[in-house]
Each structure stands twice: as C-alpha cells, then as structure tokens.
Amino acid sequence: MSDTLQRFLFEQAPVRGACVQLSATWQAILERHSYPQPVRDLLGETMVAAVLLSSTLKLKGRMTLQMTGEGPLKLLMVECTDGHALRGVAQCEEHFEQSEFAAMLGQGRLVITLEPEEGKERYQSIVNLHGTSLAEALGDYLVRSEQLDTRLWLSADRHHAGGLLIQKLPGRWNEEEHELWERVSHLSATIKDAELLHLSQQQIVHRLYHEEDVRIFDTEPVFFRCTCTRDRVTNMLQSLGYTEVKSIIEEQGEVNVACEFCNQKYHYDIVDIEQIFVDDISGDKGNITRH
Ligand SMILES: [Zn+2]
C-alpha cells in the first residue's frame, strides 16, 4: 500500500504512531526535477517527515517545512496539507559532492510554518538544525520546543520514500506506561531502511509491534498536488510592479514564469502584461499607484 498514511495507537499507554510510504507521489516530484542523489534523498525524507508530523497536528490548513543554509544545499521546502497533498522543491549547487546531512546545509536552519485555513493566525518556529540526520534533528526539535518526545525514522531512494514516527502523548504516565514507551522505542529502532521503503505499513506495524496491543486506523491517501495557478502567478507579477515587468518584456519580448514546484509554465505577452497592470497604470506609464 504505497502513497498512504497509516496511523496507530498503543492501547496500554498514551503513545501514538504513524507510518507512511510514498511511491507515485515521490515519482511525481522526481520527474519534474533532477537532483544530486543526497539532495534527492533528503527531499524524499522531508516529504515523509511532513506527512508524519502533520498527522500529529490538529491543523486544518497547510504545513511547510523549509530548510536553508550556507552549504551547497541552499533551500529545501516541502508543503503538506491536512488532506495529505504534498509538493516539494530543492535548490542546490550543480556540482554536489557533500552527502552528510549537517554539511549539506552548513549552519542549517529549519522553519516550520503552520497556516490554518480560516483566517486564524499562522504559526512559525525557527530552529537551528542539530544532528546527523533529518530524523534526529526533528526529534530533537520536538522534544526541546514542544516537549513532545517524538522519534522518527526516515528513508528515501530513487523509487520510494518511507518513514515511521512514534510520539509520547502528554499526561500522567505510570511505570508500566514508561516501560511500554521504552519497549516501543527499542522495537521501532530495529526498523531498517529497506523495510521502510518496501514493506506495507501493515507489515511494518506487525513486524515491529505484533506483541503489543495496537489499534490501527484506516489508511489515508497521500498524493502530489501543486497549488500554483495563473492567478497566483499574476499576483506575483503585480507585486513585482509594472516597471520591473515591463523591463522584462522589453528585454525578452515576453514573460515566462515556471512554477518552481511543478515546472508548469505560465506565459505572458505584452497584451497580457498591459492587461494585468491596467488598474495600476495612471497617466505616466511606469508610475504605479496601488489601491
Ligand atoms: Zn506548480
């Protein structure tokens, strides 16, 4: 069962878990861009992490994970909606030799943004990335900032991306529950990359926790979807301003914008451009008034 999220809950202690595996969703990303292997794998892991983290939130809206740094990997960004629609992109130097997580980003920072749907305030947290892997860095972040003991295992290759999360829920914990958490942590840590990538979620849950009392929820589909539209590109051009856009037209004869996520091309000729700035141009062209 690829491209699904499987949530589960341990009956004997307030511990929840989730596992996800991406195949078609991951291919949809890779057929639009080609990345050096370490960047590709980190992008896959970040997509999986986004689905797993969003599964722990009561967010109606969009979550964005964005990593930036001073290393050869400049930017890596993944968006995930509460309905598990995913898109992601990375920007890196062409000649890419670095493959260690910390060195790829170099002084890396992670920005997590939660954008609720209905006019509620967006929430953003910025953290310095520590650790030798994304899974470690995210686990570290969740314990420190949210006081949520969370462990993640993430993996990606050319064909698949997969991951597992377990999280301690807040509450009063008795001795037996602590023991269960320790046991579940140890069991989870025995998961191998090949299993995350190739076993179904049900097989993973069974393989790891068959001696525990686990409640399994219905699987939920995960898919690739880009939210770019011509209207949004038009807004972006409007925010650049008439003078700027006009100078592109004069230089190139047209304006071509490609969505960085999905590569969809948006084309504007001189007539289109005059039209989108029609409200902004007053008298002297180039002198823009905004309302
Ligand atoms: Zn797009």
Q: Vertex 211, ends 205 and 216: CA angle to 5°?
A: 40
Q: What is the pLDDT of residue 288?
A: 45
Per residue in 175-228, pLDDT tens? Answer: 999 999 999 999 999 999 999 999 999 999 999 999 999 999 999 999 999 989
Q: Tell me the CA–centroid distance for residue 230 and ligand 1, in Å.
A: 10
| Two structure tokens written together for 31 | 């057929």
Per residue in 64-110, pLDDT tens? Answer: 999 999 999 999 999 999 999 999 999 998 888 878 898 898 889 99
Q: Tell me the CA–centroid distance for residue 265 and ligand 1, in Å.
A: 9
- Common-topology check for domains 4-224 and 230-276: no
Q: What is the pLDDT of residue 291?
A: 47
Q: Tell me the CA–centroid distance for residue 41 and ligand 1, in Å.
A: 21
Specify whether the CB–CB gap between 56 and 63 falls below 8 A.
no
Q: What is the pLDDT of residue 280?
A: 67
Backbone angles phi, psi at 48, to 5 degrees: -65, -45
Q: Tell me the CA–centroid distance for residue 78 and ligand 1, in Å.
A: 13
Please tell me the CATH code under which domain 4-224 is placed: 3.55.30.10
- Which residues on adjacent β-strands are paired with residue 97? none
**What residue spans define the domains of the chain?**
4-224, 230-276
3-state secondary structure of 187: helix
Backbone angles phi, psi at 249, to 5 degrees: -60, -45
DSSP string across 240-267? H-HHHHHHHHHHHSSEEEE-TTT--EEE
Per residue in 110-153, pLDDT tens? Answer: 999 999 987 788 899 998 888 899 999 999 988 887 788 999 99
- For residue 184, CA distances in Å to 16, 52, 113, 126 come to 10, 17, 30, 30
Largest CA distance in the chain: 77
For the stretch 197-234, what's the b/e string if a residue is b when 16 or more beta carbons lie within 10 angstroms of its beta carbon?
bbbebeebbeebbeebebeeeebbebebebebeeeebb
CATH topology of domain 230-276: CBS domain Like (3.90.1280)
Rounded to the nearest angstrom, the gap between the alpha carbon of residue 202 and the centroid of all alpha carbons in its chain is 23
Q: Tell me the CA–centroid distance for residue 205 and ligand 1, in Å.
A: 35
Q: Tell me the CA–centroid distance for residue 194 and ligand 1, in Å.
A: 31
Find the mean pLDDT for residues 30-34.
92
Q: Tell me the CA–centroid distance for residue 258 and ligand 1, in Å.
A: 8
Measured distance CA(35)–CA(286) in Å, rounded: 40
Measured distance CA(166)–CA(226) in Å, rounded: 29
- Which residues on adjacent β-strands are paired with residue 111? 66, 126
Q: Tell me the CA–centroid distance for residue 216 and ligand 1, in Å.
A: 34
Question: Which run of H or E residues covers position 48?
Answer: helix 37-54
Residues belonging to the chain = 291
Q: Tell me the CA–centroid distance for residue 260 and ligand 1, in Å.
A: 7
Q: Tell me the CA–centroid distance for residue 193 and ligand 1, in Å.
A: 30
Measured distance CA(288)–CA(112) in Å, rounded: 35
